[in-house]
Amino acid sequence: MADRLNGTRILILETREEAQFSKLLAEQGADVVQCPMFTIHDAPDPAPVEAWIRRAIDKPFDDLVLMTGEGLRRIMKLAVARGLDQALVTALAKSRKFTRGPKPGKALREVGLEAQQTTEKPTTEGVIEMLGKLELKGRRLGLQLYPDKDHGALTGALAAQGADVDSVLPYVYDSKAADANIITAIDDMAEGRIDSIALTNLGQVRRLIEAAKAHGSEAKLRAGLERTLIASVGPAVSGELAAHGLRTDVSPADEAYFMRPLISAMAAALAERKPRTTAS
């Protein structure tokens, strides 16, 4: 059903995966309030990234694994700045290319390349499962990583398969630069301007708490959450909320821990609530 969320304001805490969530909510009529949780910057020291680019050009990788579209775009940005972009694209064309979900595939197409295989689930575990079916012994594998993630399981799995892994981390997150966004969102909840907050990973809960504590707004956050419908995508997020003494109001039923079932659960819960008077 379309328009199930007409007249509601939904707060989402943006990470890499939230653009699709925002689109789905807007399609249901919600006024989506997006709160970026971090800003993205190029790696502070470009030298290791440039060295990786030059290694890729001098001896093209047998395989290339891209974890994010942002990663490839940052790599290409530096390659352009160094006049190495055409040589890099030519080199990458010679590699088998694997992507974690569709976004890195889109970034590849932007430079005229195609992925040979994409994970069904855009997760590190999905990448490990996909690559686990391949013969990688003795193959040079270029691996683009992303920040704030322990990639030990992935690199360990690749090493166990005998791959010669050459990894690169082309960008970093700056969470403090986004604190102002989070404090504004907390103020909006405390003043009754948000109907529901939708949480899709436990890191969002931690970030809310950390930013609130850092800025002396923890009491205001808890007061705001008291008057806001708290929607959790699943037990991991709900467990993190409970660990901080916070409740979960609504979550998808029947282990359907995905965005569409979460939206349906939110719509049903919000429909039972009385119309909100928007704070000025």
Mean pLDDT check: name the lowest of 12-26, 122-136, 228-242.
Answer: 12-26
Q: Where are the domains of the chain?
A: 9-38+175-272, 41-173
Among 265, 186, 273, 258, residue whose Cα is nearest residue 21: 258
Which range has the worst mean pLDDT, 82-91, 102-111, 146-155, 260-269? 146-155
Q: What is the pTM of this model?
A: 0.69
Among the CATH numbers 3.40.50.1110, 3.40.30.10, 3.40.630.30, 3.40.50.10090, which is that of 9-38+175-272? 3.40.50.10090
Domain with residues 41-173, CATH architecture: 3-Layer(aba) Sandwich (3.40)
How high does pLDDT run on average in the chain? 91
- Please, what is the end-to-end C-alpha distance for the chain in angstroms? 31
Instruction: Calculate the CA 130 to chain-centre distance.
Output: 20
Q: Are 132 and 106 spatial neighbours (Cβ–Cβ below 8 Å)? A: no
Q: Do domains 9-38+175-272 and 41-173 have the same CATH topology?
A: yes
Q: Is the pLDDT of residue 279 over 60?
A: no
Query: What is the spatial distance between Cα 106 and Cα 115, in angstroms, rounded to a whole number?
Result: 9
- The 10s digit of each residue's pLDDT in 159-181 is 999 999 999 999 998 877 789 89
**Nearest residue to 4 (alpha-carbon basis) of 266, 252, 226, 182:** 266
Q: How far apart are CA 149 and CA 5, in angstroms?
A: 34
